[in-house]
A and B are shown apart, each in its own frame.
Chain A
Amino acid sequence: MAANVRVNWGKLLSRILLYFAVVFICLFILYPYFVMVCTALKSRAEIFAMDGTIFPKVTMWSNFIDIWKKAPMAKYMGNSIIIAAGSTAIAMICGIPAAYALARMKFKGQTAFLGFIIVSQMFAPVVLLIGIYKVMQILGLTNSLLGLIFINAAFNQAFTIWLLRGTFMSISAEMEQAATIDGCNRVQAMFKVLLPVAAPGIVTTLIFIFINAWNEYTVALCLISTETIKPLTVGINIFNGYNMIEWQYLFASSIFAIVPVVILFMSIEKNLASGLTAGGVKG
């Protein structure tokens, strides 16, 4: 009896600690966003006022409306979605077979290929700009969304392949072998057996690429010059003028830029959790 009570106390304490930690961490992470929202709701004068307050004294909801009038926000957002979704699709189309080959086949140059992938990441995009522009010029893709889609897909190959390779390797190959005995070819076995089981890993990878492509700034800045095909990250620079930075607008538009990503994540997170319990097969 006594032992029982002690166990419950320990459990309770660890529960309390857990909740405490979670709340603390969430508050900490949210703080910059809290600042962003409060600033976005202030007037310009109030942001820099001497007797600054945490919350706006006069709440300027109009800031959130103004940005849609001052900049083609909807267009920017649409472009960002096209770029991020397109990059994710291409990165997956190229990455899944490569990861599959690395996880399931043995071939010469395997390690060299893995090394090649890592090496491809070792230059900052800022450094590669001039070369990227040249490639785009040869392909006729400067100032086009398609060019950006390819670039983002390429930059995310390392992520895609490494993460998927790990996922595939942690899944036993036995089921696929069984499927081939039943008459599936390799491609069918991959689609029908491996990919559904690997769904959680694939979803994680999808989110990674989508977010990275969504946030890309440097290359988009140099490749895109037409206002109507700018992504959000580049477009909102309109509030960053020669004489002053319009913090309230910059932050208001940035909040809109976060929303789609968080919605996407929340809609996928469910699959992530349920998929994982279903797919806990370990080799």
Chain B
Amino acid sequence: MKKILALLLALTMVFALCACGSSSAPAAEAPAAEAPAAEAPAGEKVTVTMIAAQYGPKTGDWWVDFEKKFEAANDGIDLVVDCVSWNDIYTVVNTRIANGQAPDLLNIDVFADYQADGLLLPAEDWCSPETYAKFYPAFLDQSVVDGVCWAVPDLASARAIYYNKDILEQAGVSVPTTLDELVTVCQAIKEKCPDIYPWGIDMTTDEGQAAFAYYTWSYGGGFVDADDNWALNSAENVEAIKFAIGLVNDKLTNSDPANNTRYDLQDLFCAGKLAMMIAPNALSQQAGDAGINYGFAPIPTVAGGSVSAGVMDRIMCFDNGQSAEQMAAITAVVDAFYDDEPYSEWVLMEGFLPATSAGGEACAAADPAMATWIDIVGSAKFYPTAKAEWADVKQGVIDVEQQALLGGDVQELLDALQAEIAG
């Protein structure tokens, strides 16, 4: 009995401390808010903090180099860039925000949640008009909420079908231009090369929303309707997901779409074990290095046209009560980053596509294959990341796909999701 009491005592202690925790929290926030103001007069240097996403092995070094060059050119500014891998960036950023320690600049994919909480500054406050004018307008539109642009694109990547020319030749088929053709091509490959997976599908927590986008866009559906309202259970979407699941059930795809990430698929493609997959342009380099005789083609639609899917990341600025001096420093960092030369170098380094027209021209001039991609990305469709419910929709469609893979009814699942999101 005594021991039970003792444990209860321990539990009450936790609660008591919890109460202390909550009451002391506002007090703790105060010094954090003061900090920037206190810094400016004390040191002559203005500090700009930034969290950047690590796109690949070279990203970290590039930022270190950028920091050095920037600080050498701008005497009064101390730039601190923190490079975080994609696996961990949300954990790191959310922990910092919850503690009032948001960075000045953040390079990540989403922005709507931060904007909804009033944490961001409008792009025009920190992005000089010269830099702002460089972006493709269609890209900027993706970051507009209530008529204000809250973030600027840092890069883009476009998706297309990559195919292994040798395998297709061996199977005596050419790259599909409609979804019906896709099925016949897959069947032909399966017949002629039984050891090879004809088609790659990734429906994992990593990037399952991409599969949803490819197939529903191909069928003329998508995440939203013409009025930009969620339309997840449209007839087109149901057909599209059924089609994709059908490919899996007919054994025309990789063995485990709920667990094979796009990276797994890219590795399979580069090992010659996968004939076709939808992938970003960065695969060109990897496949080339691996000695694969590859080609790429637009994603076919059911009607016979094509659709291109784009993915775009952003740079945004948090409202930390910065002084005018600090704002000027932030603008200087952004201007330096988008300066044509370092910017194209940065984009090409990890095999992405530029988000500025000057960058696009430079890249297209340097590499004819790039020109095709820049055309593709120019007309690409994007995820509706500016909508507040996006995070739930993204997880929701992945869940629908995985349940459907386990035998769930697509119509029912999408109806339930639509009701949950919009209802």
Q: Which residues from chain A sit less than 8 Å from chain B, CB to CB?
A: 45, 48-50, 70, 109, 111-112, 114-116, 119, 129-131, 133-134, 137-138, 142, 221-222, 225-227, 237-246
Complex Cα distance, B82 from A119, in Å, reads 35
Report whether A137 and B10 are in contact in the complex, using a CB–CB cutoff of 8 Å: no
Report whether A221 and B263 are in contact in the complex, using a CB–CB cutoff of 8 Å: no
Task: Report chain A residues within 8 Å CB of B322.
Answer: none
Residue of A nearest to B7 (CB): A115
- Option from A49, A225, A244 in Cβ contact (under 8 Å) with B286: A244
The number of chain B residues touching the other chain, given as a range, is: 35 or more
Residue of B nearest to A46 (CB): B271
- Option from A45, A243, A246 in Cβ contact (under 8 Å) with B351: A243
Report whether A242 and B54 are in contact in the complex, using a CB–CB cutoff of 8 Å: yes
Given known A-B contacts A119-B11, A242-B350, A243-B351, A227 and B56 have beta carbons under 8 A apart = no
Given known A-B contacts A45-B290, A243-B286, A119 and B351 have beta carbons under 8 A apart = no
Interface residues of chain B: helix, strand, loop or mixed (majority): helix
Report whether B10 and A119 are in contact in the complex, using a CB–CB cutoff of 8 Å: yes
Report whether B57 and A239 are in contact in the complex, using a CB–CB cutoff of 8 Å: yes
Given known A-B contacts A50-B273, A111-B6, A242-B350, A221 and B92 have beta carbons under 8 A apart = yes
Report whether B56 and A237 are in contact in the complex, using a CB–CB cutoff of 8 Å: no
A-B contact count (CB 8 A): 109
Given known A-B contacts A45-B290, A50-B271, A133-B99, A241 and B54 have beta carbons under 8 A apart = yes
Residue of B nearest to A52 (CB): B271
Residue of A nearest to B285 (CB): A243
Complex Cα distance, B56 from A243, in Å, reads 6
Report whether B28 and A134 are in contact in the complex, using a CB–CB cutoff of 8 Å: yes
Report whether A221 and B57 are in contact in the complex, using a CB–CB cutoff of 8 Å: no
- List 6 A–B pairs whose Cβ atoms lie within 8 Å, in order of A's numbering: A48-B270, A50-B271, A111-B3, A133-B99, A242-B59, A246-B57
Distance (Å) between the CB of A238 and the closest chain B CB? Answer: 6
Task: Report chain B residues within 8 Å CB of A134.
Answer: 25, 28, 99
Task: Report chain B residues within 8 Å CB of A222.
Answer: 91-92, 95
Report whether B10 and A116 are in contact in the complex, using a CB–CB cutoff of 8 Å: yes
Extra contacts, 10 of them, besides A222-B91, A243-B56 (Cβ < 8 A), are: A48-B268, A50-B271, A50-B273, A114-B6, A130-B95, A221-B92, A227-B64, A237-B88, A238-B60, A243-B263
Q: Which residues from chain B sit less than 8 Å from chain A, CB to CB?
A: 2-3, 6-7, 9-11, 13-14, 21, 25, 28, 32, 53-57, 59-60, 64, 82-88, 91-92, 94-96, 98-99, 101, 195, 263, 266-268, 270-273, 282, 286, 290-291, 350-351
Task: Report chain B residues within 8 Å CB of A245.
Answer: 263
Task: Report chain B residues within 8 Å CB of A237.
Answer: 85, 87-88
Distance (Å) between the CB of A108 and the closest chain B CB? Answer: 10
Complex Cα distance, B28 from A131, in Å, reads 12
Report whether A242 and B290 are in contact in the complex, using a CB–CB cutoff of 8 Å: no
